Structure 1
Amino acid sequence: MKHISILVPDEAVLGTISDTRYMFTTLNEFLESDGKSPMFKVQLVGLGEEVKFHQGLFSIHPDVRITDVKKTDLIIIPPLSGNLKATLERNKDFIPWIIDHYQDGAEVASLCIGSFMLAATGLLNGRECSSHWASAAEFREMFPEVELIDGRIITEEQGLYSSGGATSYWNLLLHLVEKLTDRELAIRIAKLFALEIDRKTQSPFVMFNGQKKHEDEPIKKAQEFIECNLTERISVDDLASRFAIGRRHFDRRFKKATNNTPAEYIQRVKIEAAKKWLENSHKNVNEVMYEVGYNDTKSFRTVFRKITGLSPIDYRNKYNKEAVVA
């Protein structure tokens, strides 16, 4: 029987703890209904006897404290909330416990921005990780030695798992179900929970908001210039010249400040604006393309798909209310 330890940290996202427990206990029910023995011992694991949420409106009484767990096979870290640095400090006693059990053979999975706790262990240093797209800048600032993969739904490396943002954690749970059981049970669970199995990217959900939490004022002005001149064809050479910075130095400073090259930033700003047009206007794809400064259909569609994972027409059909009705 596999021992699954679902952590109950202070400031965790309450629903994800319940969802995770429900999925694995439902698996046991499936197995029992098939005349088989249950496969999982599922425990909620905390630092104390009670963890309160939402100013005491809800509380969880963990099954066991971390000191009571002598051996486990899988540790699941739920998403965290609030000020993440402060939240990690309040939950710091989980960190050595996670490290010890990983070194003793346990696998560890973080859901959404539970990735911050997993990264705080140091186990992800030099490895890939997924997290919520909205927390990417803060994650990179706090954990520069971890390779955060933008848009990825699931990362898996040497028994360490992580998921993308929000409901992407369901896809990681499905992935774990298939690894621990088989494809047939994973499909049954996916159908019961009405989940899309094998979803690979969170790119269609990303809302690009250029990183401006830096002190490089000329680069901030360059970002603002890009954002205010969507219809223009802006070259990186022109930007470097406008702000009186040598081209190579400009590239390095821009990448350091924003985590994007200037060319990537220009593309992402334009595609984010195109997404808004496609979501909310009557304009067709070519009209939107011109609105954001592209005049080559193939180039626009290639960049759009690269960033969102969808073609412009598929994106419009997915998110534009009138297109959905039609």
Structure 2
Amino acid sequence: MKNITILVPESSVIEAVADPQYMFSAANDFLIANGKSPLFEVSLAALNREVKFNGGMFTVHTDRLLQEVVDTDLIIIPALFGNMKQAVEKNKEALPWIVKHHKKGAEVASLCVGAFLLASTGLLNGKKCSTHWAFYNEFRETFPDVEIMDGSIITEENGLYSSGGANSYWNLLLYLLEKYTDRETAILASKYFAIDIDRKSQSAFTMFAGQKDHNDKEIRRVQEFIEKNYNERITVDDLAQMVALSRRSFERRFKKATDNTVIEYHQRVKIEAAKRSFETSRQNISEVMYDVGYTDTKAFRNVFKKITGLTPIEYRNKYSKAEIS
């Protein structure tokens, strides 16, 4: 048997507690239906016997307290909710427990922004991690020693797993199920729960709003200029002159403030504008390409796919309300 312990933190998302419990319990039923023995012993554990969610609207009754867990093979850390620093603070007493069991051989998987709790243990220092794309900047600032895998759905390193945003955690659950059982059982679960089993990226869902959570006023002024003039031909030298800096100093400060090079930032602003056009207008691909300042179809397609994980045609077909010929 594989002992799976779902940590039930304060300030967590109730679905991220219920879904892994549901999936691994259903996996036992799938195994039994195929003439095999059930494999998973799933339990809920917390600092308290009861954990309230949504301001007391829901209550989860746990199976055991953390100190009552003797051994476990896998710890699942659900997504947190609300202010991440406050959520981690409420659950700081669980951090040594996670570290202790990992040292004893347990694997640990964080779902979505549960990565903030996992990273707070220090176990991810010097390692890679996935989390919700909307929290990348906050995560980088809070945990500078952890490498965010931009756009990635699943990250695995040394028995530590993490997943991308929101429902992306289903892909990590399926990944773990396949690892512990076989491909056949994972495919069956993916069909039962209607999940695309091999989705690798959350890039198509990412909304680029610009990284402005910094104190460099000159760089923020340049960002705002790029965002207002993204369809114009703008050179790095022009932008450097705007803030009276040498090109080298300007590029260094821009990268430090935004975590993007100037060219990367300009590309991401252009592609974000193109995405909005595909979602809301009836313009064809060439019209959108020209509107955002591209004249080379191949270059536009390559940059678009690099950033979103989809070609312009695939993105338009996925998100456009009306089919456009």
Q: What displacement does 1:78 show?
A: 0.3
Equivalence map 1:240-279=2 (5 Å): 240-279=240-279
State the Cα RMSD in Å: 1.0
Secondary structure (helix, strand or coil) at the match of 1:245 reads coil
Secondary structure (helix, strand or coil) at the match of 1:238 reads helix
Cα deviation per residue 1:175-221 (whole Å; 9 max; x = unaligned)? Answer: 00000000000001011111111111011100001011111000000
Cα deviation per residue 1:236-281 (whole Å; 9 max; x = unaligned)? Answer: 1111111111111111111111111111100000000000011111
Equivalence map 1:53-132=2 (5 Å): 53-132=53-132
CA distance in 2, matches of 1:317, 1:33: 39
Secondary structure (helix, strand or coil) at the match of 2:322 reads helix
Equivalence map 1:1-326=2 (5 Å): 1-323=1-323
Structure 1 residue identity aligned to 2:197: I
Secondary structure (helix, strand or coil) at the match of 2:56 reads coil
Cα contact 1:230–1:291 (8 A) shared by 2: no
CA distance in 2, matches of 1:298, 1:210: 25
CA distance in 1, matches of 2:241, 2:299: 25
CA distance in 2, matches of 1:236, 1:91: 45
Q: What displacement does 1:284 show?
A: 0.9
CA distance in 1, matches of 2:81, 2:42: 24
Question: Gaps spanning 5+ residues in structure 2: where?
Answer: none
CA distance in 2, matches of 1:31, 1:231: 56
Q: TM-score, normalised by structure 1?
A: 0.98
Structure 2 residue identity aligned to 1:172: L
Structure 2 residue identity aligned to 1:31: L
CA distance in 2, matches of 1:37, 1:231: 61
CA distance in 1, matches of 2:159, 2:184: 22
CA distance in 1, matches of 2:82, 2:249: 37
CA distance in 2, matches of 1:4, 1:315: 38
Q: What displacement does 1:33 show?
A: 2.1
Cα contact 1:7–1:77 (8 A) shared by 2: yes
Q: What displacement does 1:34 show?
A: 2.5
Secondary structure (helix, strand or coil) at the match of 2:156 reads strand
Q: TM-score, normalised by structure 2?
A: 0.98
CA distance in 2, matches of 1:35, 1:313: 45
Secondary structure (helix, strand or coil) at the match of 1:167 reads helix
Structure 1 residue identity aligned to 2:273: A
Cα deviation per residue 1:11-67 (whole Å; 9 max; x = unaligned)? Answer: 110011111100000111112222322111100010011100111110001100100
Q: What displacement does 1:303 show?
A: 0.4
Q: What displacement does 1:70 show?
A: 0.9
CA distance in 2, matches of 1:135, 1:317: 27
CA distance in 2, matches of 1:31, 1:182: 10
CA distance in 2, matches of 1:44, 1:115: 19
CA distance in 2, matches of 1:30, 1:306: 38
Structure 2 residue identity aligned to 1:23: M
Aligned residues: 325
CA distance in 1, matches of 2:81, 2:255: 28
CA distance in 1, matches of 2:323, 2:150: 28
CA distance in 2, matches of 1:227, 1:34: 56
Find runs of 4+ consecutive structure 1 residues off by over 4 angstroms.
none
CA distance in 2, matches of 1:243, 1:292: 24
CA distance in 2, matches of 1:290, 1:202: 26
CA distance in 2, matches of 1:197, 1:72: 26
